[in-house]
Amino acid sequence: MNIAALAGGVGGAKFAHGLAQIIYPRIHTNNHELIREDSWRLADHSLTVVVNVGDDFDHLGLRICPDLDTVIYTLAGIANPETGWGTAGETWHAMDMLGRYGGETWFRLGDRDLGMHLFRTAALRQGRRLTDIVADACGRLGVAARVLPATDSPVPTIVETDQGALAFQEYFVHRRCEPAVRDVRFDRIESAQPTGEVIAALDAADLVVVCPSNPFVSIDPILALGDLRERLKRKPVVAVSPIIGGQAVKGPAAKMLRELGYEPSPLSVARHYADFLDMFVIDRVDAGQTLEIERAGIRVLVTDALMKSVEDRARLAHDVIQFAHQA
Amino acid sequence: MNIAALAGGVGGAKFAHGLAQIIYPRIHTNNHELIREDSWRLADHSLTVVVNVGDDFDHLGLRICPDLDTVIYTLAGIANPETGWGTAGETWHAMDMLGRYGGETWFRLGDRDLGMHLFRTAALRQGRRLTDIVADACGRLGVAARVLPATDSPVPTIVETDQGALAFQEYFVHRRCEPAVRDVRFDRIESAQPTGEVIAALDAADLVVVCPSNPFVSIDPILALGDLRERLKRKPVVAVSPIIGGQAVKGPAAKMLRELGYEPSPLSVARHYADFLDMFVIDRVDAGQTLEIERAGIRVLVTDALMKSVEDRARLAHDVIQFAHQA
């Protein structure tokens, strides 16, 4: 069974790590008993994670791909467990000196993290494709899942706010998501195409999983590429709600939903994906929305959707895959 | 008295630091007794250090200026005392990760050092002049001397060798100066100009000091800019020999002299500068060359020219300034 997951952000990376734990149990030896019992069933599964690149940007001469790096570091088991982004045991000597010179330090680049940005920037300047660069880095870090940038073309996410149009990281990190969002668009999206690898992975997928990521700035920039949204209509698709009890676990998803005129609820997310979504996974606190989501023709799994520990990720991934198998 | 020093490399940075210690004794409190006794005489001196930029290069997306940084770190008192380049207490997390991804690690970029490269690269991309960027960094690090890049234009040093034409850092760091040098040239030097600040500093100088730097790859790229070499003929100029006992203290100066057909001796260096040089400072081990150097119309000071300690730098600088005063 080939699984293709769409991901962006910390929630997406955590859930992708849950999938990787159950699909590659020999590599992810931290999975709990439940997963080990099931592993024979998953032995011939494969996982491809298609990652948002709309938040990529050029900064201080370097090409920074925050969502890709969060997914890679998380799958490699070297992510910072507190922040969810960056690497564990990170040091900040470069930033400290940059700050001393009066440089811009609002986007925190750790010393270990800089190794990735230097590697990627140098390789891009040599004319290599982002897809191949990511494959190299993943290979070196022992990542078993295939990680694919959604596209090799820059498609920068622009957030239209009450304070004007803002580049995504300007909105997300520098302004801390404080401006009110009016619209989200993806620059140059019409001329960009998903890579051949992404199309092939989706075509080969027996199941597409939309991770608990921000619909507007993590998943939509993937779906807006070429005919990917149309392609998803021809596949069984299961999504995990990034909204639990009216809140986003992390990031501005709930605030964005409100500002764009929706209730911050799983139902709103399900409706956002309704044209291609077959199955939806929500938390127990949102069980009351089950009937209304099912009314849209979407099957619902109610489970514990909050991932506090590494084991939670695997358990939730297991529940989702089992649900999709049975569906 | 205004002193303008021309410098590049570790020897040049060390000697510039010696000058700074005696000219700004309140900042450099580590100067020994001799200097403190003389400090009243130096109270109204100023020091401008004009630094080679021929070794600057683009690497991993960043603009790297090794000679400038060595001078800045040394004057700021944060240089690595073992290597002479980079910062003290440096860490290598970014390089370690870059190496793990299979990236190029032959040019060692420490984590603290990366702060400078990120600051400079970002500022250059904003259209700022290298001269202003260096002034900012020096101000932030409390450097009292004025540090000036010789030019704001890229004038990359190319080393013609028996293994072909090599960019300077490729020859110097990557190939460890192993190829035999046939010639040295400076790309785009005809269209480059020294900055207005450099011309003004040299015009205002009561004494020009050529630091104990490599004549071919540290000093010549400065002198080749516009009419700087001609301007030096109108000034009292004292140079300190980078060659002691037939050896360069650091770097390939002696090897280069041999490969270019000269004896690796102070005399060869004096002859290289003969058209503008008034005074030359050599080590006691080379005292036997005094008469022959003087025969070229150059006054000679014989002293201890080896700088092993921070105090040695100040003592040598003191000897050189005193010698020039008396001349």
pLDDT tens by residue, A151-165: 999 999 999 999 999
Say what the pLDDT of residue A20 is. 95
Q: Domains in chain A, please, with CATH?
A: 2-80+116-326 (3.40.50.10680)
Residue written as token pair 């021929």:
B54
Alpha helices in B266-308, H assignment, sequence order: 266-272, 290-295
* Contact at CB, B101 and A115, closer than 8 angstroms: yes
Which pLDDT belongs to residue A45? 83
User: Looking at residue A25, what is its pLDDT?
Assistant: 81
Under DSSP, the state recorded for A60 is T
Specify the pLDDT at position A276: 98
CA distance A95 to chain B (A): 6
Q: What is the pLDDT of residues B162-209, one digit of tens each?
A: 999 999 999 999 999 999 999 999 999 999 999 999 999 999 999 999
Which parts of chain B sit beneath pLDDT 70? 28-43
pLDDT recorded at residue B120: 98
ipTM more than 0.90?
Answer: yes
Euclidean distance between CA atoms A78 and A74, whole angstroms: 6
**Are residues A103 and B111, on separate chains, in Cβ contact within 8 Å?**
no
Contacts A122 to B, Cβ<8 Å: 59-61, 103-104
A289 secondary structure, DSSP code: G
Do the beta carbons of residue B305 and residue B269 sit within 8 Å? Answer: no
Determine the pLDDT at residue A37: 53
CB contact under 8 A, A97 and B104: no
Gap from B11 CA to chain A (nearest CA, Å): 25
A60 and B122 within 8 Å at the Cβ level: the answer is yes
**pLDDT at site A326:** 86
Q: Rounded distance, CA A215 to CA A202, Å?
A: 19
CA distance, residue A18 to nearest chain B CA (Å): 24
A325 in reach of chain B (CB within 8 A): no
Nearest CB neighbour to A115, from listed B95, B113, B115:
B95
How confident is the model at residue B41, as a pLDDT? 58
| Phi–psi pair at A99, nearest 5 degrees | -65, -40
Token pair, residue A259, equals 């500002």
Say what the pLDDT of residue A40 is. 45
Low pLDDT (below 50) residues in chain A: 31, 40
Q: Give me Rg for the CA atoms of chain B.
A: 19
Interface contact A97, partner B, CB < 8 A = yes
CB of B251 closer than 8 Å to CB of B67: no
Residue pLDDT, tens place only, A123-182: 999 999 999 999 999 999 999 999 999 999 999 999 999 999 999 999 999 999 999 999
Beta carbons of B115 and A97 less than 8 Å apart: yes
